[in-house]
Each structure stands twice: as C-alpha cells, then as structure tokens.
Amino acid sequence: MAVFGAPAALEDHALRGCLAALGIQEEVTRLAAEVDRRDGVDLRLRVGLNSGQVIAGEVGSAALGYTAIGEQVGMAQRMESVAPPGAVMLSDSTARLVEGAAVLGEPQLVRVKGAEDAIPARLLPSVAARRTGVSYSTLVGREWELSTLAAMLDRSTSGRGSVVAVVGPPGIGKTRLAAEAVQLAKSLGVEVFSTFCESHATDVPFHVVARLLRATGQLTGMDDESARAQVRAQVPDADPQDLVLLDDLPGIADPDVQLPKIDPDARRRRLTALINSAQLARTEPAVFVVEDAHWIDKVSESMLAALLAVIPQTPSLVLITYRPEYHGALAHGAGAQTIALAPLSDSETSTLLTELLGPIRPLARSPGSSPGARPGTPFSPRRSSVSSQNAPCWSVSAAATPAVPMWPTSACRRRCRRPSPRASTGSAEPPNIRLPPRRSSVLASPPICWPAWRSIRLSTS
Ligand SMILES: Nc1ncnc2c1ncn2[C@@H]1O[C@H](COP(=O)(O)OP(=O)(O)OP(=O)(O)O)[C@@H](O)[C@H]1O
Ligand SMILES: [Mg+2]
C-alpha cells in the first residue's frame, strides 16, 4: 500500500498517486516480458486508488509504524479487486480529483465486497499531456484585468511583443483569467501555445521547456521521424549538431545518432540561442502561456528568462501565471507587466455562488475557517458547491465552520489501543491514538482543502 498526501499534505496528491500507479504498470510490463521468457508466467498487476479521509500516523500497540487506517483504505483495495489485470482503477472520489489532468475511462458501475449497490469507478489509461476538460462557470468580475490583457494582446500582435504575469494565491482565478485571454486570442485567429509546470517535476531539468517545444512544434501525436522533419522545417538554417540537441529535448532523437558530448551548461546555452533565434524569425503573432511558474525547473526557468528578453522584438504575448511566493527569474523580466489578482468583492462572490448554487443566503465568515476558504477566493465557493453535491463531508457551510472529522471507527479502536498522552488534556484529538509530536496527522488537516490521502493496492493476477 502507498499513501499520498500524508504526512505532508500535497495539493496534487491524487495526480501523484495516478502517476505512481501508471509508473508501476510500466515497470511491470517491462518485467513481465522477462518473467514470461524465463518462467513462462504471465505477470500482470492490478492497481486501485481511492481518496478520502483516513486516520494516519504512527499507530498500533506493537512496533509503531506510519500507516493509514479507516474505511477508505478498504475502498482502495476494493478498487484494486475490480481492476482488470494490467490496469489502474480509480474510485469516483479520486477520479474527480484528477479529471482535467488525467485521461479517464467512461464511468462504470462496479460491484465490490461489502457494498450492497454497485458503485462508480473509472479506469485510468494515462495522464494527460495537457490539462483538459475543466468546465468553467461564467467569468465574474475581472473586467479591468481582461481589458488589460486584451490591450496587451493587441499591442503584441501589432509587433511590440509583451510579457505579462498574472499573480495571486491558490484559487484566486489565475488559470481562469488566462483561459479567457486564450479564448480571446483564438477568437482573433492568434495561435496559442500553452505549457504548465508541475510540483512533482520541479527537479526535472528541461521539463517545462521540453513540453513547450512539443506544443510550439505541434509534435504531439507524431512519430519521431515526422517530428524531426517538422522541427527541421521550422528551423531550416540551424547547425546540424544543435538540431540533434534540440531533438533530444522533446524526446524525438534518432536513436542511431549520437548526442554531441558537451557539458550541460553549454548544451543549455546552445539550445537557448537556437530557440531564441527561431522565435525572432517568427512573423506570425502568437500567445505563449506558462502556467504555475512557481514550480518551474531551474534549467527551463533560465531558458525562458532568456526567451522573454527577445519577446519585445516579436509579435508575441507571453502570459505567465504564478503564486506570490515565486520570486524567480520569470518574475523579474525587464518590461514585464504584472497583474496581481485581488479577491473578488462580496457582490462578485455572491454572483458566482448564485450561478453555482442558485439563490442562497450569504455565507457567514468565521476566523477559524479553513485556509482554503479565503473570502473572495473563487476556489472556496466552487469547491464547496461541488462537494455539496458529491461528497458528504463538504458543504457550503463547511467554508465557515471548522472542519471536524468523524472520530475513530471501530476498526481504528481495535488497532489503536495505546492511550494518548493528550487524551486527558481535553485536546481535540481522539482518545487512543498516538500522534507523534512532529508528524502531522491527516485528521489534523481541513478536509475542505486537502482531502487527504491516496492508497495504491497491488496484487498479481
Ligand atoms: N472570476 C471568476 N469567475 C468565475 N469563476 C472563477 C473566477 N475566478 C476563478 N474562478 C473559478 O475558481 C476556481 C479556481 O480558479 P483558478 O483555477 O483559476 O485558480 P488559480 O489562481 O489558477 O489557482 P492555482 O494557483 O491553484 O492554480 C476555478 O474553478 C475557476 O473557474
Ligand atoms: Mg491555476
């Protein structure tokens, strides 16, 4: 069993769980060929994932070990039991957390042990190369921001390229605003190339720039040979050795051609020069979107920073989104404009809520509400409204009420016999659970923000 989202809460824990599950299947496919050859055994694995509240920590009466227990752990095993051999099955709760980032199979009803009725589940064939399928409500407010972006787009397409950063805390609407700008550009016939940074790929050199290259070269879905031909058509005058380096970046290199032996810094410089000159040669207007730059890898950051320097000489607009904690090179481009998103006003928030829920009473605000429930942050009402339909532990009022999880199930009581040192102090922790002082427990995290764990169960078929 693997647990994601505990002890450290991660906002993309569900996606990480999916990536791990797919990675395991990939490895096993490789191993299976060897096992088949050597032992004549058809080795295939099933993987199941589920998401929900659990009790996590070092629990147990014998040797303590970090683990997660509770009803939801069992559901991950149930998902594994209904997955076809070689596949990954997600429960409905996990599927909802990764839709937009993963390619999901059609919803299906499955029968699992212990449940009277069939329950929904979805297969996970792969993780999407681009973010997909997020449904948006009508944009509320942001008129000034949108008209600023429209003006910058206009200026850029007329030949005076510009760079704009949309900055704000999680859920404030950076992606939403960027999506509006993209729509606007497309409606004007301007080409748009988007990429995004991911928290789990911050240490992967070239990750973001490689993805941007795939987007700008329109290489997705092409075989490697055609992709190489396409790259050569786009930069016809490039040095052949540089082209070999460039092929390697989006993973389309010819396996029979050796990479030039140069140090990583020289490689970065040569690629930067090549990409910049390709950009300078561009005559058609374009919009480049780089989302979530707070997670960018260092090499991509330095290459993109160099690219930003030539943008004013091109008919392009570069739109970067990031959270306020980011202070890297992309936040300091000379001549770059910054749009800092403020929270929506009360009336805008209530307009958004009314659209999502129908007429409602205004939310009471509580100083003790969860950190995800910032007043004016559209994420909070959206999450609340979604969850009020689908998840019993979230409701509109949850944004204003301290989240109090259900205390231990009987299974937990059986397994956690040791009295808590804090049980007699009137602490809010459950009796009989020992929570080590420096380790966080999932129960301690507000379920409205980071519903908390992923479990992968493995078994051979
Ligand atoms: N002005 C708005 N009108 C309507 N819906 C909005 C608005 N701003 C944000 N939303 C909605 O709120 C949710 C969160 O917004 P969004 O994903 O854009 O946040 P973000 O700032 O990009 O957060 P993160 O830093 O986590 O990427 C989305 O569902 C989005 O459609
Ligand atoms: Mg975003």
- Please report the atom of ligand 1 found closest to the CA of residue 179: 18
**Residue predicted with more confidence, 285 or 216:** 285
- Under a CB-based contact definition with an 8 Å cutoff, are residues 309 and 333 in contact? yes
pLDDT at 457: 45
How would you classify residue 189: left for phi > 0, otherwise alpha for psi between -120 and 50, otherwise beta? left
- Please report the atom of ligand 1 found closest to the CA of residue 176: 18
Q: How many whole angstroms from 196 Cα to the centroid of ligand 2?
A: 9
| CA separation for the pair 347, 325 (Å, rounded) | 28
Nearest-CA residue for ligand 1 atom 13 is 379
**Integer CA distances (angstroms), 131 to 15, 135, 195, 197, 452, in order:** 12, 12, 9, 11, 22
Crossing angle between the packed helical segments 224-234 and 240-248, to the nearest 10 degrees:
130
Q: How many whole angstroms from 181 Cα to the centroid of ligand 2?
A: 14
- Please report the atom of ligand 1 found closest to the CA of residue 11: 26
Strand partners, 456: 2, 49
DSSP per residue, 433-459: ----TTS--GGGS-TTT---EEEEEEE
Q: How many whole angstroms from 167 Cα to the centroid of ligand 2?
A: 10
pLDDT in tens, 53-77: 988 888 766 666 788 888 889 999 9
Lowest pLDDT segment from 55-64, 229-238, 303-312: 55-64
Lowest pLDDT segment from 35-49, 199-213, 301-315, 344-358: 344-358
pLDDT at 379: 62
Count Cα neighbours of 455 within 13 Å in the Cβ-side half-sphere: 24
pLDDT at 361: 59
Lining residues, ligand 1, CB within 6 Å: 136-137, 139-142, 168, 170-176, 292, 323, 352, 378-379, 382
What is the rounded average pLDDT of the residues 302-323?
93
Nearest-CA residue for ligand 1 atom 4 is 139
pLDDT at 298: 93
pLDDT in tens, 113-124: 888 899 999 999
| CA separation for the pair 146, 153 (Å, rounded) | 10
pLDDT-derived band at 153 (thresholds 50, 70, 90) equals very high
Q: What does pLDDT average to over the chain?
A: 78
What is the rounded average pLDDT of the residues 277-293?
90
- Please report the atom of ligand 1 found closest to the CA of residue 177: 18
Question: Is it the case that residue 427 has pLDDT exceeding 80?
Answer: no
Q: Which ligand places an atom closest to the C-alpha of 134?
A: 1
Whether the bond into 260 is cis, omega within 30 of 0: no
**Integer CA distances (angstroms), 196 to 140, 167, 282, 372, in order:** 24, 15, 22, 22
| CA separation for the pair 119, 111 (Å, rounded) | 6
Domains and CATH numbers, the chain: 2-132+405-460 (3.30.70.1230), 143-340 (3.40.50.300)
| CA separation for the pair 133, 103 (Å, rounded) | 10
Nearest-CA residue for ligand 1 atom 18 is 173
Q: Identify the top-confidence range among 123-137, 247-261, 416-430, 446-460.
A: 247-261
Question: Is it the case that residue 352 has pLDDT exceeding 80?
Answer: yes
- Please report the atom of ligand 1 found closest to the CA of residue 344: 1
Q: How many whole angstroms from 69 Cα to the centroid of ligand 1?
A: 33
pLDDT at 454: 38
Closest by Cα among 368, 416, 373 to 396: 373
Q: Which ligand places an atom closest to the C-alpha of 377?
A: 1
Nearest-CA residue for ligand 1 atom 8 is 173
pLDDT in tens, 243-281: 888 888 888 888 888 888 888 888 888 889 888 888 888
pLDDT at 426: 39
Which of 176, 198, 346, 384 maximizes ligand 1 atoms within 8 Å of its Cβ, making it the mutation to test the pocket?
176
Q: How many whole angstroms from 179 Cα to the centroid of ligand 2?
A: 10
What is the rounded average pLDDT of the residues 351-379?
63
Q: How many whole angstroms from 343 Cα to the centroid of ligand 2?
A: 15
Write phi, then psi, for 414 (nearest 5 degrees).
-65, -35
pLDDT at 460: 34
Question: Is it the case that residue 385 has pLDDT exceeding 70?
Answer: no
- Under a CB-based contact definition with an 8 Å cutoff, are residues 66 and 426 in contact? no
Lowest pLDDT segment from 59-68, 375-384, 407-416: 407-416
pLDDT in tens, 172-210: 999 999 999 999 999 999 999 999 999 989 999 889 988
pLDDT at 364: 53
Q: How many whole angstroms from 338 Cα to the centroid of ligand 2?
A: 16
Question: Is it the case that residue 381 has pLDDT exceeding 50?
Answer: yes
What is the rounded average pLDDT of the residues 84-103?
93
Lowest pLDDT segment from 13-22, 147-156, 293-302, 450-459: 450-459
- Under a CB-based contact definition with an 8 Å cutoff, are residues 454 and 73 in contact? no
Q: How many whole angstroms from 114 Cα to the centroid of ligand 2?
A: 38
Question: Is it the case that residue 389 has pLDDT exceeding 80?
Answer: no
Q: How many whole angstroms from 446 Cα to the centroid of ligand 2?
A: 21
Q: How many whole angstroms from 418 Cα to the centroid of ligand 1?
A: 44
Which of 132, 319, 379 maximizes ligand 1 atoms within 8 Å of its Cβ, making it the mutation to test the pocket?
379
- Please report the atom of ligand 1 found closest to the CA of residue 173: 18
Question: Is it the case that residue 432 has pLDDT exceeding 60?
Answer: no
pLDDT at 67: 86
pLDDT in tens, 6-45: 888 888 899 999 999 999 999 999 999 999 999 999 999 9
